[in-house]
Amino acid sequence: MAVLVLQHIACEPPGVFEDVLRERGLSLLRVELDEGEPLPSGLDAFEAIVAMGGPMSVNDEDDHPWLAAEKALIADAVRSGVPFWGSCLGVQLLAASLGARVTRGPVPEVGVLPVYATDAAVGDPVFTALEWPRPTLQWHQDTFDLPAGATLLATSPQYPHQAFRVGRVAYGVQFHVEVDAAMADAWARVPEYVASAESVLGPGGLDRLLSDFRASMGEMQDDGRALFTRWVELWDD
C-alpha cells in the first residue's frame, strides 16, 4: 500500500514530509492535479493521503474542474477513517470537503510568523511534539471555517484558524514547515505568490521574506519533521 500525495503545483512537493515517509519505508503515489493527472478511482490501495499547497483557491472549480472530484475524494477518505494530512491549500481542501466555508481573508498572511497552540492542543498526540509558539512560513490569503466536529489546534493573531483535527487521524495545517531552500526559491518565481508577497511586504519584501525564511529554515524543518512523524505514528505500526 502507498501514501497518496495530492500535488497542485510542481514547486510544492511534500518536502521534509516525503523524507519522513521514505525513511519509514513507505512508498508514494504522486498525482499532479494541475497537470491533468487523474485521481485514483478508489482508496483501497492507499494507507494515507497527503494534500499539499498551491496558488489556486478551493473555490476555483470553474478554472480547475478537478477540485470538485478532489474534495469528494477527501471527504470519502476522512469519513472512512483514512489518515489525512493537509498543508495550506490542503487544510482548506479538508475544511471544504467536510462542508465548511473557505473564504478570502482580509489581507494576505505572508512572512515568517509565529503560530500558537490552542488549549485544545494540550494532550494532542501530534501537536505535543513541539513547544509552542513556533515560527512558520505563511504565504496565503484564503482562510476557512471549522467543519462540524473539528478541534482547533493552532492559531495566529491575523488568521485564527491555523490547524485542526477531525477524528483521530485527519489533520490540516495552514502554515508551512516542510519547505527547503530550493522550494522557497521556486515559490518566489510563481506570479501569484510574488504578487501576494509584494502586496503585503512592499518593495524588497520578497527578498526580506526569503532572508527571514533561510534564517529559520532549519528550525521549521525540524518542527515539520516532528509533527509529521507524530502523525504517521498514529497509523503506521
Question: CA–CA separation, 225 vs 219, rounded Å?
Answer: 10
Location of C-alpha cell 515539520: 224
Strand (E) or helix (H) holding 225: helix 205-235
> Tens digit of pLDDT for each residue in 162-188?
999 999 999 999 999 999 999 999 988
> Tens digit of pLDDT for each residue in 101-153?
999 999 889 999 999 999 999 999 999 999 999 999 999 999 999 999 999 99
| Mean residue pLDDT across the chain | 95
pLDDT band of residue 85 (cuts 50, 70, 90) is very high
Domains, in order of start, for the chain = 2-235 (3.40.50.880)
pTM of the entire structure?
0.96
Sheet (strand 151-155) strand order: 27-32, 2-7, 46-51, 84-87, 170-173, 163-166, 151-155, 102-117, 134-144
> Tens digit of pLDDT for each residue in 181-209?
999 999 888 888 888 888 889 988 888 99
- Please report the pLDDT score of residue 237 as a whole number: 78
pLDDT at 6 over 90: yes
Helix axes 89-97, 66-79, angle to 10 degrees: 70
pLDDT band of residue 8 (cuts 50, 70, 90) is very high
* Residue 204 falls in which region: left (phi positive, over 0), alpha (psi -120 to 50) or beta: left
